[in-house]
């Protein structure tokens, strides 16, 4: 199946890997077809293979200025790192055994805090294997990512080895190797020094023989050669232990049959790097011009963009940035829909998390969490840059479809917002309900990180908020309510949570409660103290019939998915929570959708019926199986697990229910096509956001239900739980999460497209 307009791929993730240069690919193919001999063989075919291998080595030696140092071909940078660390630590072990330090001192190994994770993990591994008692210490960096030389001076005397990076893979920040060498050798002339040069090749000049660098690993696939080939430089005076023993290839330095096709490709790359003319690689001045053109385009398209790397201190081929109010996942999905490939932080980890590199540089948490790395290689052309900039503009224009930016360009057919919208920052949720008929809106639990987005949304949709309300005083963040209220509701008098004093009184669930109107709906305030003393639940109800019918229950942190709100804050009361839970049980129907303030497990929403099936404590309360006194005891025990909670996010409830990770039926493109052909009732739902959808859709009948509107979709289809729905997204990750959430709520025939559109065409 396909709903893509075919756009050429714009690849801007070269720091993760590069495509193989056509000339390099041709050389590798020729080596496989005509120079396939084993370089260790003595016949003519083997001798020709040997000659190619040695020609490649000579060119690498010339390019890097290795002098008398060894240059050994490896499977890649990781092997080079292991070879270097193992060689150094084996040589250092006798020193440690023969001369232990005093009780108040210990040996250490040093590495830069922004190093690739392969470095500290390898250091720890080999120290353990070799039984060397030495502490692994990270060298701090400043706000630019430059190593702390004073720290090195203080610790290098007792260090067995120091590992640094020539160019950082996330930020492109380069170290002044000459100045760094002076600091290291002044502090400890005999320390073993490894420099990770993976990102430096082709971007900076290296003359290794003029330095005291002992080890320098390199990787071919970072510079247009195939994966599986690399090399390591070893200074002539540095100790060496073979990492791989066996047949004695590479003069006994690295055993195993040589990767001749990989070497043939490297040979072409080295030749181009050594050439002054006729090379596929641009010079440094041109690369800086390319970066500036991309940076200018990004700034035009995202005026509030923040660049995380200092261009003065980084190579021209890496741009690291964050856009306020946008998560890294949102930007990646947007760019991917426009067929632009970027990454969030290091591509060596598939999970999108904070960048430890930017954390080490002391950048604010939001920049670390929202970081996007855009990188290109030295074979970038002006035509490539022009196309990339045009596509970035196209992607930013598509955001008007979702009202994530205001329409000021050709894409302005915004998706009309009607009903419930769920926005998130981390695990925290903001809820927006829009009534397109009255042009009114309601905002519940506005997050400060989403202020700009909410403001843009209201303007774009031309909505007037009737109220901006918090369900309680939040302990884990400052509310974003005040800023928005001052802009849109300056004339409205309200309490500390934003509930308007001008509310009316209505009968609801046997009580007289305060309410306000939203179009044809009513929002009713139900006091539900417990998590905090000021906690309220907000019931959005239709007014058809004598009694209001609840569509959504915004219960804050009173009932969370699989949990109950914690009650160990100063303003908490487990007794009050006990009574509030019973009140909600009398108030809500079993299938009323509960919209919480936090969603720690990507479950979107829940119901009392769902919670009763898995939350034993809640079930005991609602079915009168537990006294108030016993509840207080059990709740205190539950909350005690949260007392030592660390990190930037305070958990507002301990998870006590089972998170349904049921095996969801998965289709691939072929099996889905057959299912649709055999069952006319199968309905495919595209859950990408409107800005993604508009970039890729053609005449495809698939219905677009953005993930931010999933709760609205669930509400609207409560009576169609036996309908065979198939959810589809870009990669299959969001569709799986959404399918599991719907399955938990009783959608028995939910399924998804494994691998998403990325693998379907």
The catalytic residue among 197, 348, 541, 652 is: 348
Torsion-angle region of residue 283: left (phi > 0), alpha (psi -120 to 50) or beta?
Answer: beta
544 C-beta neighbours (distance < 10 Å), count: 9
d(CA 385, CA 289): 10
Task: Check if the beta carbon of residue 421 is closer than 8 Å to that of residue 363.
Answer: no
475, two tokens:
């302990």
The token duo for 411 is: 């894409």
**How large is the C-alpha radius of gyration of the chain?**
30
Contact 260, 91 (CB under 8 A): no
Stated as kind and residue range, the H or E segment containing 620 is helix 616-622
555 is catalytic: no
**What distance in Å separates the CA atoms of residue 524 and residue 516, rounded to the nearest whole number?**
7
Query: Rounded to whole angstroms, how far apart are CA atoms 136 and 130?
Result: 14
The tokens for 291 are 């970066």
If you search the block for the tokens 């969370």, which residue do you land on?
560
Write down the residue that tokens 């006590």 correspond to: 656
Number of H helices, E strands in the chain: 22, 29
Q: What is the DSSP string of 162-215?
A: EEEESB-TTT-BB--HHHHHHHHHHH-TT-EEEEE-TTTTTTS---GGGS---E
CA distances (Å), origin 35, targets 32, 50, 269, 408, 448: 6, 9, 18, 58, 63
- Name every residue whose Cβ is closer than 8 Å to that of residue 482 and which is 6 or more positions away in sequence: none
Yes or no: say if 738 and 707 are a contact pair by the CB < 8 Å rule.
yes
CB 596 within 8 A of CB 472: no
User: What is the residue-wise DSSP string for 489-551?
Assistant: -TT--B-TT--BTT-EEEEETTEEEEEEEETTEEEEEEE--SSSTT-EEEEEEE--SSS-EEE
Give the DSSP H/E element, type plus range, for residue 58.
helix 44-64
Residues serving a catalytic function are 348
């Amino acid at each position: 199946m396909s709903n893509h307009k075919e756009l050429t791929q714009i690849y801007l993730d070269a720091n993760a890997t590069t495509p193989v240069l056509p000339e390099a690919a041709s050389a590798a193919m020729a080596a496989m077809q005509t120079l396939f001999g084993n370089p260790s063989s003595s016949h003519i075919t083997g001798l020709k293979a040997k000659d190619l291998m040695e020609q490649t080595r000579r060119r690498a030696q010339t390019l890097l200025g290795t002098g008398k140092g060894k240059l050994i071909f490896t499977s890649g940078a990781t092997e080079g790192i292991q070879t270097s660390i193992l060689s150094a630590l084996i040589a250092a072990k006798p020193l440690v055994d023969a001369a232990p330090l005093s009780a108040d001192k210990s040996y250490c190994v040093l590495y830069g805090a922004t190093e690739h994770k392969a470095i500290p993990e390898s250091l720890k591994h080999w120290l353990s294997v070799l039984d060397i008692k030495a502490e692994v210490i990270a060298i701090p960096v400043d706000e630019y990512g430059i190593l702390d030389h004073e720290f090195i001076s203080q610790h290098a005397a007792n260090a067995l080895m120091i590992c640094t990076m020539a160019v950082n893979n996330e930020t492109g920040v380069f170290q002044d190797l000459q100045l760094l060498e002076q600091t290291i050798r002044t502090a400890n002339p005999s320390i073993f020094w490894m420099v990770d040069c993976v990102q430096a090749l082709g971007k900076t000049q290296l003359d290794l023989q003029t330095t005291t660098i002992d080890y320098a690993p390199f990787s071919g696939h970072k510079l247009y050669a195939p994966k599986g080939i690399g090399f390591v430089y070893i200074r002539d005076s540095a100790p060496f232990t073979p990492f791989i023993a066996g047949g004695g290839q590479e003069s006994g330095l690295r055993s195993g049959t040589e990767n001749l096709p990989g070497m043939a490709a490297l040979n072409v790359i080295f030749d181009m790097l050594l050439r002054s003319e006729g090379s596929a690689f641009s010079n440094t001045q041109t690369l800086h011009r390319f970066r500036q053109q991309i940076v200018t385009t990004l700034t035009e398209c995202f005026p509030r963009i923040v660049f995380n790397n200092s261009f003065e201190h980084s190579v021209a081929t890496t741009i690291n940035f964050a856009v306020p109010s946008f998560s890294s996942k949102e930007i990646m999905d947007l760019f991917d829909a426009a067929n632009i490939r970027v990454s969030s932080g290091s591509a060596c980890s598939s999970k999108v998390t904070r960048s430890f590199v930017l954390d080490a540089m002391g950048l604010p948490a939001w920049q670390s969490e929202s970081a996007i790395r855009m990188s290109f290689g030295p074979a970038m052309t002006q035509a490539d840059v022009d196309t990339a900039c045009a596509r970035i503009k196209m992607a930013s224009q598509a955001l008007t479809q979702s009202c994530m930016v205001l329409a000021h360009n050709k894409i302005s057919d915004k998706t009309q917002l009607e009903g419930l919208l769920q926005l998130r920052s981390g695990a925290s949720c903001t809820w927006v309900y829009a009534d397109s008929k009255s042009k009114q809106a309601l905002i519940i639990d506005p997050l400060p990180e989403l202020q700009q987005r909410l403001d843009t949304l209201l303007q774009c949709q031309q909505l007037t908020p009737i109220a901006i309300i918090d369900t309680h005083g939040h302990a884990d963040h400052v509310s974003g309510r005040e800023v928005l209220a001052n802009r849109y509701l300056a004339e409205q008098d309200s309490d500390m949570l934003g509930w308007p004093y001008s509310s009316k009184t209505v009968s609801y669930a046997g009580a007289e409660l305060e309410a306000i109107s939203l179009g044809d709906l009513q929002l009713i305030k139900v006091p539900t103290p417990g998590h905090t003393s000021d906690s309220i639940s907000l019931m959005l109800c239709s007014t058809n019939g004598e009694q209001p019918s609840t569509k959504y229950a915004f219960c804050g942190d009173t009932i969370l998915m699989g949990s109950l709100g914690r009650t160990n804050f100063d303003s908490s009361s487990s007794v009050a929570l006990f009574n509030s839970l019973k009140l909600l049980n009398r108030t809500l129907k079993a299938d009323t959708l509960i919209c919480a303030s936090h969603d720690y497990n990507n479950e979107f929403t829940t119901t009392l019926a769902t919670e009763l099936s898995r939350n034993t404590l809640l079930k005991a309360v609602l079915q009168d199986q537990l006294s108030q006194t016993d509840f207080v005891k059990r709740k205190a025990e539950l909350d005690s697990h949260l007392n030592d909670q660390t990190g930037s996010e305070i958990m507002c409830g301990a998870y006590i229910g089972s998170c349904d990770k049921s095996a969801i039926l998965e289709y691939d493109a072929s099996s889905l096509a057959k299912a649709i052909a055999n069952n006319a009732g199968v309905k495919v739902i595209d859950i990408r956001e409107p800005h993604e959808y508009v970039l890729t859709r053609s005449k495809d009948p698939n219905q677009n239900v953005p993930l931010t509107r999933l709760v609205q979709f669930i509400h609207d289809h409560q009576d169609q739980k036996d309908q065979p729905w198939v959810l589809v997204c870009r990669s299959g990750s969001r569709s799986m999460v959404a399918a599991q959430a719907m399955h938990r709520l009783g959608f028995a025939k939910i399924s998804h497209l494994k691998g998403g559109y990325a693998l379907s065409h």
